[in-house]
Amino acid sequence: MFNHQILIQMKSKMEKEISFRMLAAIMIIATMSFIGCKDDNGGDDPDTPDTLQTVTNVEVTPASPSVAKGATQQFSATVTGDNKPAQTVTWSIVETNKHASTAISGAGLLTVAAGESLAKLTVRAVSTVDATKNGTASVTVTGGGSSGSGVTWTKVTANPFGTSAINDIILGNDILVATGTFSKIAYSNDNINQWTTLDLSELSLGNIYRIARGGGRYVVINYQGTAAYADENDVTKWKKTDKENEPFFETQVYNPGIVYCKDRFIAHRNGVMKYSTDGGATWKNTSWTGGGATPFTNIYGIVWNGTRFIAVGGKGNFPTSGVIAHSTDGETWTEVTGHPFSDVAVYGFTWDGNKFIAIAPWRVAHSSDGLDWSLYYNDSFSNPSSNRITFGGGKYIVVGDSGKNGEIWTSTDAKTWLKEEVSVFSNYVTVKSIIYDGKKFIVAGVEDDKNVIAYSNDLQ
């Protein structure tokens, strides 16, 4: 009995001591927590930073660009103030009556709709640190006209190739360079009506078909698949690729082509591609994922959009189905499946700064990445046996392989097209090339048995 009471008293004393110690521990922890939550200035508010960011100005660059309808413009913002304020901003377009497709992304990329009716747009960047501080840029919208509007042309009086046929034309650094048959190349420095012709017969290039420019060089490929190159600062001196380093070794090739994308030239003929990283001096084979063979019979175009290469063409003796392929490096390629050209070859191809546009007889399609395609059905292109398409000044222009007065279609949205005859072409014309030089379109081809070059008047 006595022992039981002693045990009870001892248990009560222990419980009180434990409770006291626990209370003391809690008070110590609370005190430490209170001390640990001091703000960086030693204050009691942990949400108050030791340095307060303030914004004094937001500057948008470029401040007053001109952007063509259907084109894009990248903007950047610089936020200044005290204590290195964050450089993040929220982008918007001030005008509420703009075209529904005119928009600016969260990264500051402005896209002006091809059908934009406003002549001016205001881009605004608002600081995320201080919403009362913002900067703006004034955008002048250029080019365009109503969807499907035509283009007027002026014929160049000079004939740089004489009896040689013109094949291709390219814009260099303040210079135009054109290729032709019988080993002829011509260039125009600052007046499209004045040309200097080079005879490269000593190189035995024959029919010089396509030309590309990049990395400080011009590179051409002829109809036999042989390449030649010249430094960009001296277009008069050309060197033929050594025999052992030629891109192709066939005596005759169909539809050869060459482009410069990223940091390399890519040449193609029939369904084969090779690439050069040393300015056309040597060439290497491309490959296909899985080690398979090329799905192309013919390749009609290759484009680089800043992320990947896309190639288009067809397969079959007379291509009866389209082929699209993609590559991130131009060396290893993968075929794109599920595109809307399963029963027709893809002949024309361009990148407008926002999306790819591909054309075929009776068909137009677009894609933002070259992998997933949507169809703009169109029956304007009734027989474009090797159409070429380009974009500039808010307009898409498609030129056909041949036709009375040339076959040319124009559009500002790639959906609605206007077919027109080019009045300066008086006879049967085979259009070989079309480019946009930043102000105007330039088209080159053969009119009956004579060369013809013309340029657009309305975009100068």
Q: The domain spanning residue 205 has which CATH number?
A: 2.130.10.10
Are residue 104 and residue 158 in the same domain, yes or no? no
Phi-psi region of 343 (alpha: psi -120 to 50; beta: other; left: phi over 0): alpha
Question: Which two tokens mark 72?
Answer: 């894009």
Query: In this structure, what token pair is assigned to residue 278?
Result: 């040393």
Q: Are residues 333 and 444 in the same domain?
A: yes
pLDDT attached to residue 158: 85
Query: Which tokens go with 114?
Result: 């091809």
At 250 the pLDDT is 54
Cβ contacts of residue 172 below 8 Å, gap of 6+? 187, 213, 218, 232, 235
CA 54 to chain CA centroid, Å, is 38
The domain of 123 spans 55-141
Please, are residues 48 and 24 in contact by the beta-carbon 8 Å criterion? Answer: no
Closest CA to 302 of 277, 279, 269, 340: 269
Q: Are residues 391 and 281 in the same domain?
A: yes
List beta partners, residue 315. Answer: 321
Q: Does residue 45 lie within any of the structural domains?
A: no
Instruction: Chunk the chain into consecutive blocks of 10 residues (it has 460) and report each block's average pLDDT, rounded to whole numbers.
Output: 50 52 46 39 47 91 84 90 93 91 91 82 95 93 55 83 89 91 92 92 92 95 88 94 65 75 90 91 91 90 93 86 95 95 90 91 90 82 64 84 63 78 62 85 81 74
Domain-terminating residue out of 115, 141, 167: 141
- 169 lies in some domain: yes
Residues 352 and 284 in one domain: yes
How much is the pLDDT for 220?
95
Q: Which pLDDT score, from 0 to 100, does residue 119 have?
A: 83
Domain total in the chain: 3
- 235 and 345 in a single domain? The answer is yes
Residues 197 and 82 in one domain: no
- The 3-state DSSP composition of the chain as helix, strand, coil percent (nearest 5) reads 10, 45, 50
User: For position 138, what pLDDT does the model report?
Assistant: 92
> Distance between CA atoms of 32 and 20, rounded to whole angstroms?
18
Q: What's residue 148's pLDDT?
A: 44
Given 141, 171, 201, which residue is the final one in a domain? 141
CB atoms within 10 A of CB 199: 11
**What is the rounded CA–CA span in Å between residue 159 and residue 156?**
8
> Which pLDDT value is given to residue 14?
53
- Answer yes or no: is 147 within a domain: no
**CATH number assigned to the domain comprising residue 99:** 2.60.40.1080
- Asked, for residue 241, whether it belongs to a domain, the answer is yes
Pair (183, 265) in one structural domain: yes
Say yes or no: 31 and 130 in one domain: no
- Both 134 and 200 in one domain: the answer is no
Helix (H, G, I), strand (E, B), or coil: what is residue 199?
strand
| Confidence (pLDDT) at 1 | 46
Q: Are 121 and 167 part of one and the same domain?
A: no
**Same-domain check for residues 175 and 120:** no
Are 61 and 182 part of one and the same domain? no
With respect to residue 15, please indicate whether it lies within any of the assigned structural domains.
yes
Query: For residue 404, what are its two tokens?
Result: 């009375």
DSSP state of 69: T
Whether residue 413 is contained in a domain is answered as: yes
